[in-house]
Amino acid sequence: MKRNLSLLVSLFLFISVFASNEKAKYVFYFIGDGMGLNQVVMTEMFLAQKEGKIGAENLCFTSFPYTGLARTYSTDNSITDSAAGGTALATGVKTKNGTISMDREHKKPLKTIAERAKEKGNAVGILTSVSVDHATPASFYAHTPSRGMYYEIGTFLPKSDFDFFAGSGFISPDKKDDKSKQNLFTLFKDNNYKVIRGIKKYDKKSVEADKVILIQKEGKPIDSFPFAIDRDDDDLTLAQVTEKGIDFLSKKNKGFFMMVEGGKIDWSSHSNDAGTTIYEVLDMDKAVALAYEFYKQKPDSTLIVVTADHETGGLGLGVQGYTLMFDNFNSQKLSQSGLSKAIFKLFKEEKNISWDKFKNFIEEKTGLWGGFKPDENQEKAIRDSFENAIKKREQEKTKTEYSEDSALASLIIKTINRVSKVGWTSDTHTASYVPVYAIGVGADQFSGIMENVDIPNKVAEIAGY
């Protein structure tokens, strides 16, 4: 009896030691582009206020047991761009802004954790809500001195031999000034990739494909998925492609590494559009929730890390006083770009629209003049801009990083942000720490303050790349 017991104890010890040494066979690496801590806090507070409560509601990823903070500066700038930020998160080496996974002298390519995962025999997926050749996803499979070399970035995709790619499309499928260069889609096909456009076709075609590139269907913008707040039923979503990615990579039966980028938290933050930013964070959280469901099936072999490449906009939660009114964003139905398009359309249809009718239109689209109102000066500024546009029969435009919107739409969104007590210090990136959240095998490694480059190095160690 005694002997049996000690045998049992040794067996138990052996199993637990073995289990604790087990590597993460399945790695999910989520990057919220531009998702600083305040983008997350604002979203949590919005959820609480929407229910009439003061406080914060957890997102899926903010309920993870381990959290840390990461520094994001690049080698040449205190404030990183998405190329140097993506490179740091992909390779574990800081580089110069604008660079895609090469050293700061642009002499050597830097190996990425996705490439190391592939070498180790894992299946690999690279997913984003922007174009597949955009800085963050590119940093995981391409090596170019400049993030703007979209065609060249595309040529690295087949060389990676990764299994699953998803995003809106490719910015430069053809090399513009060199006709001798092969079209990227031909190149993909020649290398055994099946390019599938839209979810309906995917469900029919992916089964027999060995390697897949899932992009938006024909006629949709190729630079990105529409903002969650603006999208149509037939647009791809980050959660949708994540679900397909998990399914596709799981079927390879060999463990996987999957990078998923919520790419447009950055875009709406560049436009200082808080409502749209909240819905982008929630949208990425839906994709994280799918990874979390997977984790629950395989908790002993799965690691999920959620972080950001940098903060965008210098988002401040509070503008004089102690009351925040984030529930206002519950009535926002369009992004700044969406509102801009809607106003252009309205002015085309109704050349002499009255101020009252215009106000009703804005109330319907954003809630302004409904549950919450601008002050006298803010209303006057909007009215002046409106009358100017009507008189001149054209609208002034305002340009930010990723959009050129009507100045009137931009003023309205700014006013809504101000009334709701959201402040922005910049229309570019900032240097603040970004949050890191982790659950699963080795997740305890991701607490405390770290450099962005520590994150992939830890992932590589935990996964045994």
* Interface positions with Zn ion (CB under 5 A): 266
Shortest approach of Zn ion to residue 204 CB, angstroms?
36
Long-range contacts of 351-358 (CB under 8 A, 24+ apart): 351/390, 351/393, 352/390, 353/390, 355/383, 355/386, 355/387, 358/386
Shortest approach of Zn ion to residue 31 CB, angstroms?
12
Q: What are the φ/ψ torsions at residue 342 (nearest 5 degrees)?
A: -65, -40
CA 295 to chain centroid: 21
Q: Among residues 428 and 457, whose Cβ is nearest to Zn ion?
A: 428
Q: Which residues pair with 450 in a beta bridge?
A: 70
∠ Cα 314 437 295 (to 5°)? 140
CA pair distance 84, 68, nearest whole angstrom: 20
**Which residue type does 16 have?**
S
Shortest approach of Zn ion to residue 136 CB, angstroms?
10
Q: Among residues 266 and 327, whose Cβ is nearest to Zn ion?
A: 266
Shortest approach of Zn ion to residue 427 CB, angstroms?
10
Shortest approach of Zn ion to residue 29 CB, angstroms?
19
Shortest approach of Zn ion to residue 178 CB, angstroms?
29
Which residue from 298, 289, 301, 300 is spatially nearest to 64, judged by alpha carbons? 289
Q: Among residues 283 and 309, whose Cβ is nearest to Zn ion?
A: 309
Q: Among residues 266 and 280, whose Cβ is nearest to Zn ion?
A: 266
Shortest approach of Zn ion to residue 59 CB, angstroms?
21
DSSP string, 130-182: B-TTSHHHHHHH--BS-TT-HHHHHHHHHHHT-SEEESS--S-SS-TT-TTSP
Shortest approach of Zn ion to residue 400 CB, angstroms?
10
Q: Among residues 115 and 266, whose Cβ is nearest to Zn ion?
A: 266
Shortest approach of Zn ion to residue 333 CB, angstroms?
25
Q: How many helices (H) and strands (E) does the chain have?
A: 16, 16
Secondary element (H or E) of residue 399: strand 397-400
Q: Among residues 279 and 295, whose Cβ is nearest to Zn ion?
A: 279
Q: Among residues 261 and 266, whose Cβ is nearest to Zn ion?
A: 266
Quote the tokens at residue 450.
């770290």
Q: Among residues 235 and 309, whose Cβ is nearest to Zn ion?
A: 309
Shortest approach of Zn ion to residue 34 CB, angstroms?
5
> How many residues in the chain?
465
Nearest to Zn ion by Cβ — which residue?
266
Shortest approach of Zn ion to residue 13 CB, angstroms?
50
Q: Among residues 266 and 285, whose Cβ is nearest to Zn ion?
A: 266
Q: Among residues 103 and 266, whose Cβ is nearest to Zn ion?
A: 266
What distance separates the 2 farthest-apart alpha carbons in the chain?
Answer: 96
Quote the tokens at residue 243.
């679900």
3-state secondary structure of 215: strand
User: Is there a contact between 137 and 150 (Cβ–Cβ < 8 Å)?
Assistant: no
What does each C-alpha distance from 335 to 57, 122, 198, 228, 410 come to in angstroms?
A: 23, 39, 23, 9, 10
What does each C-alpha distance from 216 to 132, 155, 265, 431 come to in angstroms?
A: 11, 20, 19, 33
3-state secondary structure of 183: coil
3-state secondary structure of 259: strand
Sign of CA dihedral 394, 401, 337, 126: positive
Q: Among residues 131 and 328, whose Cβ is nearest to Zn ion?
A: 131
* Helices marked H in 298-395: 336-349, 355-366, 376-392
